[in-house]
Amino acid sequence: MIKEKICREYIEEIERLERSIRELEEEIIELRMQLQKKTEEVTSLSIENASLRHKVEMQEKTYQRMVELLKKMKFPVIFLPEDD
């Protein structure tokens, strides 16, 4: 009688621990998916940032070339300060 009760308690505790392990495994899977999603998002933003920086650099170079060309041509141009 006592042996059966003790065994039943151990079995119940083992089952509870197994459920906890399954829940933790599911949580780990969810966290890995979230991490992968955030990593992809960071990578995407990094690529977009690099692309935008390149576009800005190209526009600045084009602007400087146009200014130099107009100066060489002695074309009358008035440069107004840019509004920020």
Q: How many residues in the chain?
A: 84
Q: In angstroms, rounded to a whole number, what is the distance separating the alpha carbons of residues 74 and 66?
A: 12
Q: In angstroms, rounded to a whole number, what is the distance separating the alpha carbons of residues 80 and 25?
A: 63
Q: Is the pLDDT of residue 2 over 90?
A: no
Give the pLDDT band of residue 82 (cuts 50, 70, 90): confident
Q: In angstroms, rounded to a whole number, what is the distance separating the alpha carbons of residues 18 and 12?
A: 10
Virtual torsion, Cα 7, 13, 14, 19, nearest 10 deg: 150
pTM listed for this prediction: 0.61
Give the pLDDT band of residue 84 (cuts 50, 70, 90): low
The region, left, alpha or beta by phi > 0 then psi within -120 to 50, assigned to residue 15 is alpha
pLDDT in tens, 21-77: 999 999 999 999 999 999 999 999 999 999 999 999 999 999 999 888 888 888 777
Predicted confidence at residue 44, as pLDDT, reads 98
Nearest alpha carbon to residue 62 among 51, 54, 50:
54
